[in-house]
Amino acid sequence: MNAGTLWGFVLWIAGGCLLVILGIRAFFAKKEVGFFNNVRALPMRDVKAYNRAVGRLFIGYGIVFMLLGLPILADRNKGLLILSILGVAVETIVAMAVYILVIQSKYEKK
């Protein structure tokens, strides 16, 4: 394993840790937490339960993100690296779908 591979893995794990920290921060927030960047969160009926659900989603996303980074350690295996990239793309789509179809529809004020 060369230094570039190790640095890439460390940066990948750091990104996953940031996502977990965002989830923990959302878990204890007092106001509605926005899921999408540059979009205000809609008013929610139960802010505490909503923030906990979003926090769990971010924490789960961060953990799966870090697990998808493990193939980076397999030095010079481009197929596994592509698996990581495609895995993150699928994970992101699933997280957005869970947020819109489950969390937002459950807690949104109507």
- Least confident interval from 1-5, 30-34, 43-47, 80-84: 1-5
Question: Hey, how many other C-beta atoms are within 10 angstroms of the C-beta on 10?
Answer: 12
Phi, psi angles (nearest 5°) of residue 41: -70, 140
Q: Is the dihedral of CA 43, 46, 49, 52 positive or negative?
A: positive
DSSP lists the bridge partners of residue 44 as: 108
Report which of residues 8 and 98 the model is more confident about. Answer: 98
- Distant-in-sequence, close-in-space partners of 51: CB < 8 Å, separation ≥ 6: 26, 27, 28, 29, 32, 33
Domain count for the chain: 1
Reported pTM: 0.90
pLDDT of residue 93: 97
Radius of gyration of the chain (CA): 16
Write the CB contacts of 24 (distance below 8 Å, at least 6 apart in sequence): 55, 59
Other residues' Cβ atoms within 10 Å of the Cβ of residue 11: 12
Residue 36 is predicted with a pLDDT of 86
Structural domain span for residue 66: 3-107
